[in-house]
Structure 1
Amino acid sequence: MTAWRKSSYSGTSSDCVEVGRGAGIRDSKAPTKHLPVSDKAWSAFLTEVKAGR
């Protein structure tokens, strides 16, 4: 089973994007579906976001 996490910026909102390690990304409003994302792709995404690109 995947432990899904949401951003701390979401607060108590239920309308957010969640990330599951080794699983991907999903919309909290449609938790039965998710977009698979590899660890390598997620790491590259985070690197780009942190660089402000």
Structure 2
Amino acid sequence: MKQRKLGNQGLVVSVLVEQIEQMAAELGITAGQLALAWVLAQGEDIVPMKRH
């Protein structure tokens, strides 16, 4: 993973990304698939945003 200098906030984000990647690997899926599954599990009132 490419590191950028973001101070303490960057460190926290890096740790979270590593944890998400580890959880996804344990499930045999990608981090993106895990994130999408989480969003979809939040309820039926969640709608995708269009990208312009």
Q: Specify if TM > 0.5.
A: no
Question: TM-score, normalised on structure 1?
Answer: 0.33
Structure of higher RCO (CA pairs closer than 8 Å, 6+ residues apart)? 1
Bigger helix share:
2
Bigger strand share:
1
Greater Rg, structure 1 or structure 2?
2
